[in-house]
Structure 1
Amino acid sequence: MPMSQEVFGQFRRKRLFIAATIAALVLVVTLTFRFFEEKSHVEQQSRSFADRAIQRFDRLFSPLDIAANNTMGLVGLKCDQVRYPLIEKLAALQTIRSILLVDDDRIYCSSIFGASNISFSNAFPELAIASQRMMLVVDDQLLKGSPVLLLWTPRSLDNRSGILQTINIELMSSYLLEPTLPWVERAVINVGGKSLEYGNPMIEAAQPSEDEVSYIQASLRYPYSITLFGPEPAALAILSLPSQLPLALLLSALVGYVVWLATANRMSLSWQISVGINAREFIVYCQPLINARTNGCDGIELLLRWHNPRQGWIAPDVFIPLAERQNLIAPLTRFVLTEVVRQLPQLPGCAGFHIAINVAASHFHQQEIINDLQKLWWPADPKPQLIVELTERDALPVVDQSTVAYLHKIGVKLAIDDFGTGHSSLSYLKTLSPDVLKIDKIFTGAIGTDAINATVTDMVISLAQRLNIALVAEGVETAQQAEYLRDRGVNALQGYFYARPMPLTDFPQWLENWRQNGPATE
């Protein structure tokens, strides 16, 4: 796989991983949010049920309180005098089974049975002695065995006189405590430690089953409470999640897609190049140019390397073409110019030393390269000869050829890089009038192995010599290649046989070693 495709594939995989991770996170967060929302909804439904039940019971008990206070004047009168008024009261209060009058701790009159003589404290010690106002009991007189609620309204603080109302609590609970599924499965009214459950006529303690939880709410006006039994809210919330899944999946897919689009720029190599320039992730390298005749170092070609902390080393064959397409090649060239100007004091300060820099054809538009040289290069008063290398595959339009002419005018030489691999044209050579042709390493590597390409190499050398253009051969890796090119009059040699590309800061030390020892033996 080509290096560029591999790098772009890494970026696409990283974008896909980020988008998928965020989409999965959104799915989990959405379902979690819906879980807690549904759980809260279930709990709220239980609280609302209890609130409504309390309010309804209170509204039913309130008129009974009023009626008892209005009837309090009958207490103490003879039963035969008050029985018919009690019956009238009973008819007006449909939830009351009977009204009992208590005086001097004696239940002496009943709206149903008339006169009686029953000890109040013996019959109902919870009311008479413990001062309770309500009491759940079983009716043993009218509807034997049925549950009733006793509501005691005392006339005196000693609880020896007052009105006792027998309430048909089973009837009231049958429509006030009807469960609401699935939140409330069972509803219970509690009075004085005793309980009456909806649908169960027995007065007995109500306990939750293994899979139920309870919720209790007490009345603020009367001494009773409501207990609700139902499924665990979390269990109901979990059961609701499958219905939430399609919407959660749609939302997560949408967010993942948005992230995929949003990272198209930030996760692209072009964005990484912009970041790398500002973060000084690029490093200026150089490769020496060796004089084929004297074996001395006549100059260097500036190269750019990129160490991306997120991706490692990225080859120039990957980021240079992309930078050209994304209009980022000019900032990279300015970076190279800035760095070489900073290193000028450590480089040979003579006109015979050449510094070659690669410039893309797009950098020639509207004399942009000239403007950059005037801002960055000439203010440093450089002594070495500057050579601008234009890759042959980047053919210049006619309008930009005037820029080349101006470069010649101000003393900058032009080299055609990778000659023979792109727009080979005699008219192109004539129009640009290059000072140097650089033989591509493809042809250099063919020396001694490929007769056809070797012939092309000879033709390029002959062409340059006839046009009086200097020649630089790239990719020299063997002594045989160096000897072959030297014999044919190539002016300068460049390649691993002499030196690998090195950081520009290492060049002064390399040059010192070269002058003392010559080429290293391999």
Structure 2
Amino acid sequence: MQVSQQIVGQFRRKRLLIASTVAALVIILALAFRFFEEKSRIEQLSHTFASEAIQRFDRMFSPLDVSANNTLGLVGLRCTDVRFPLVEKLATLQTVRVLLLVENDSIYCSSIFGDRTLSFSELYPELAVNNQRMLLTTDNYLLKGSPVLMLWTPKSLDNQSGIVQVINIEMMSNYLLEPALPWVERAIFNVGGKSLEYGTPLIQPAIPSEDEVSYEEASMRYPFSITLFGPSPARLALMALPSQLPLALLLSLLMGYIVWLATANRMSIAWEISYGLSSQEFIVYCQPLINAQTGGCDGIELLLRWHNPRQGWVPPDVFIPMAERQNLIAPLTRFVITEAVSHLPSLPDNPAFHIALNVAASHFHDRAILDDLQHLWWPANPRPQLIVELTERDALPVVDQRVVAHLQKTGVKVAIDDFGTGHSSLSYLKTLSPDVLKIDKIFTASIGTDAINATVTDMVISLAQRLNISVVAEGVETAEQAAYLRERGVDTLQGYYFARPMPLADFPAWLSAHQSDQMT
């Protein structure tokens, strides 16, 4: 029972290990999924912020383009004639500080200062010479030192005439580039290699700090771009993980519990036995039955052994009771019968040779053992005598006792195995009329050491002889025990003293060697 409990405990520990492993994997995968999902979401938010910022600037510049094109007709006219129209135009453009008219590479008119005479190409070579449409620079005339954006709209192909709109970019950037914390900490407006950062009234290179990452997106319509600086999306996603832990933990516990329930059958001894049968992990052994008087081998008892690659050798007193409780003993018995039939050609072809087969009481229900013998044993036309050994872990109902009687009518001998233990009683001797009584090994072991059990052994032997029932003594391990049992007329001896259980395939070689030893 202790070994049985150990194996059941091993199955439970395996189930717990698998359920715990699955739960751990689920919580890791759930957190990993949430991490990558949050990281992707933050990256997408940054892209969306930059795209929307560019769209806002594009929408701001678009009406300025239209206004400049409509005003190009004023270029070339005298400043005194066009200054008031320029002021009126300026009033409608809230984002523009100054309008400048350029003709023949000369800035000759300002909406604020009136007549001017300034070299356009010397002051703003980027616009006049390099043909840029935008210039980010510093205001040197109106609000000295403040950043401005100059939007150049040429009138002639030689780039010598046109209109310059000086835009209050600091105000616009503060309005259109407000960072979206925490994924965007700094937003920068870039034109021609120069940068203006939100909240900073200086035009200077924007450099990310050590723990910041950058993302840049350019406008498709105008020569500017937006650069964003902020914490790494991975770091922000990692910081958000603790808030996801309760849900991930709940999910992992749920999955672990589902796996625990799902493995209840698969990780059970019943599943192991069924799998062992299909995977040919069971091996049929046999132990010789020795004639107590002649010393010859009168037969064998078929025994089932289980080598489980996952557990090692599982003792019969562990898996047999478990198989009975799980209603799997009948398939195991069928396997033994099938293996015995396959080895019949190598066994003695003699009716005096006995083949003993252990059959649980449950196998007698609904005539199952009769059906199995009809389909598996009799079609092989066996010559050896079949003995069905009834194990006594369960009491045999009256209806199944009739099955025993039917077996005896077909020529099958019936033995009561382990007589004196389990549910055995003297009433079995009357109701079953067995052909053989097998004395349990605990009584054999008491010979010479335990007077009470030895007395019980003598009584069982005497009772069987009075009823003309053959007696087989199990568990004979010493010459003293063998001599004692011979003296009392026991018919057959079985135990390690004569031979240990061996694979059925090895029995012919053992029998040959045993017969040779008898003749010498």
User: TM-score, normalized by length of structure 2?
Assistant: 0.98
- Is residue 2:332 matched to residue 1:332? yes
| Secondary structure of the structure 2 residue equivalent to 1:14 | helix
Partner of 1:176: 176
Q: Distance in 1 between matches of 2:392 and 2:39?
A: 70
Within 5 Å, give how 1:72-471 maps onto structure 2: 72-471=72-471
2:303, 2:518 → 1: CA distance?
A: 23
With over 3 angstroms needed to count, the CA separation of the structure-2 counterparts of 1:135 and 1:519, relative to structure 1, is farther
Question: Are the equivalent residues in 1 in contact too, given 2:361–2:392 (CA < 8 A)?
Answer: no
Distance of 2:96 and 2:344 partners within structure 1: 110
Partner of 1:188, secondary structure, is: strand
Give, in whole Å, the separation in 1 of the partners of 2:287 and 2:519.
Answer: 14
- State the AA in 1 paired with 2:248: A
Per-residue deviation, 1:468: 1.5
Contact 2:188 2:197 in 1 (8 A): yes
Q: Distance in 1 between matches of 2:126 and 2:424?
A: 116
- For residues 306-348 of structure 1, the C-alpha deviation after alignment (integer angstroms, 9 at most, x for no partner) is 1112221111111111111111111111111111111111111
% identical aligned pairs:
74
Cross-structure match for 2:68: 68
Judge conservation of contact 1:106–1:117 (CA < 8 Å) in 2: yes
Q: Distance in 2 between matches of 1:298 and 1:192?
A: 108
Counterparts of 1:251 and 1:424 in 2: how far apart (Å)? 54
Structure 1 Cα separation of the partners of residues 174 and 389 of structure 2: 98
Q: CA deviation at 1:130?
A: 0.5
Letter in 2 for 1:31: L
CA apart distance, 1:163: 0.7
Contact 1:473-1:494 within 8 A present in 2 as well: yes
Residues 237-261 of structure 1: CA deviation (Å, up to 9, x unaligned): 1111111222222222222222222
Shift of 1:35: 1.6
Question: Any conservation in 2 of the 1:75–1:102 contact (CA below 8 Å)?
Answer: yes
Distance (Å, rounded) in 2 between the aligned partners of 1:448 and 1:342: 42
Mapped to 1, the partners of 2:221 and 2:519 lie a distance apart of: 106
Q: Tell me the distance in 2 between the aligned counterparts of 1:518 and 1:505.
A: 22
Tell me the alpha carbon deviations over residues 337-377 of structure 1, each in whole angstroms, 9 at most, x when there is no partner.
Answer: 11111111111111111100001111111111101101111
Deviation at 1:402, TM superposition (A): 1.3
- Following TM superposition, the consecutive aligned residue runs of length 4 or more in structure 1 with deviations greater than 3 angstroms are none
Counterpart of 2:343 in 1: which secondary structure? helix
User: Shift of the alpha carbon at 1:288?
Assistant: 0.6
Deviation at 1:429, TM superposition (A): 1.9
- Residue 118 of structure 1 aligns to which amino acid in structure 2? L
Matches within 5 A, 1:479-498: 479-498=479-498
Note the residue ranges of structure 2 that are not aligned, 5 or more in a row. Answer: none
- The residue aligned with 2:59 is 59
Following TM superposition, by how much is the alpha carbon of 1:139 offset from its aligned partner in structure 2, in angstroms? 1.2
CA 1:494–1:519: 2 relative to 1, 3 Å: farther
Q: Secondary structure at the match of 1:386?
A: strand
Return the alpha-carbon distance in structure 1 between the equivalents of residues 519 and 291 of structure 2. Answer: 12
Structure-1 separation of matches of 2:253 and 2:244: 14
Kindly state the Cα deviation for residue 268 of structure 1 after the two structures are TM-superposed.
1.3
Tell me which amino acid in the other structure corresponds to 1:243.
S
- Superposed CA deviations along residues 204-247 of structure 1, whole A, max 9, x for unmatched, are 11111111111111111101111111111111111111112222
Q: Please state whether the residue corresponding to 1:94 is helix, strand or coil.
A: coil
Deviates further, 420-429 or 213-222: 420-429
Distance 1:483 1:399 in 2: 41
Asked if 2 retains the 8 angstrom alpha-carbon contact of 1:392 and 1:422, the reply is yes
Equivalents in 2 of 1:518, 1:9: separation in Å? 48
CA distance, structure 1, for counterparts of residue 190 and residue 132 of structure 2? 13
Query: 2:281, 2:307 within 8 Å by CA — same for their partners in 1?
Result: yes
Write the letter of the residue equivalent to 1:63.
P
337 and 424 in structure 1: CA distance in 2 versus 1, 3 angstrom threshold: closer
CA distance in 2, matches of 1:204, 1:156: 32
Give the conservation status (yes or no) of the 8 Å contact 1:498–1:519: no
CA distance in 1, matches of 2:25, 2:424: 56
Q: Is the 8 A contact 2:416 2:438 kept in 1?
A: yes
TM-superposed CA distance for 1:425, in Å, is 2.3
Give distance in 2, aligned partners of 1:385 and 1:244: 72
| 1:504 equivalenced with 2:504 (yes/no) | yes
RMSD: 1.3
Range 490-499 or range 111-120, more displaced = 111-120
In structure 1, what is the Cα distance between the partners aligned to 2:47 and 2:456? 92
d(CA) in 1 for partners of 2:182, 2:519? 89
Decide whether the 8 Å contact of 1:104 with 1:161 is kept in 2.
yes
Counterparts of 1:36 and 1:466, CA distance in 2: 85
- Which ranges of structure 1 fall in alignment gaps of 5 or more residues? none
Q: What SS does the aligned partner of 1:196 have?
A: strand
Report the Cα distance in structure 1 between the residues aligned to 2:276 and 2:58, rounded to whole angstroms.
75
Superposed CA offset, 1:121-150 (max 9, x none) = 111111000001001111122222211100
Per the alignment, in what secondary structure is the counterpart of residue 230 of structure 1?
A: strand
**CA contact under 8 A between 2:133 and 2:151: conserved in structure 1?**
yes
Q: How many residues align?
A: 520
Separation in structure 2 between the aligned mates of residue 435 and residue 252 of structure 1, nearest angstrom: 61
Scaled by the length of structure 1, the TM-score of the pair is 0.98
- 1:279-322 deviations in Å (ceiling 9; x for gaps): 11111000011111111111100000011122211111111111
1:18 aligns with 2:47: no
Amino acid at match of 2:483: E
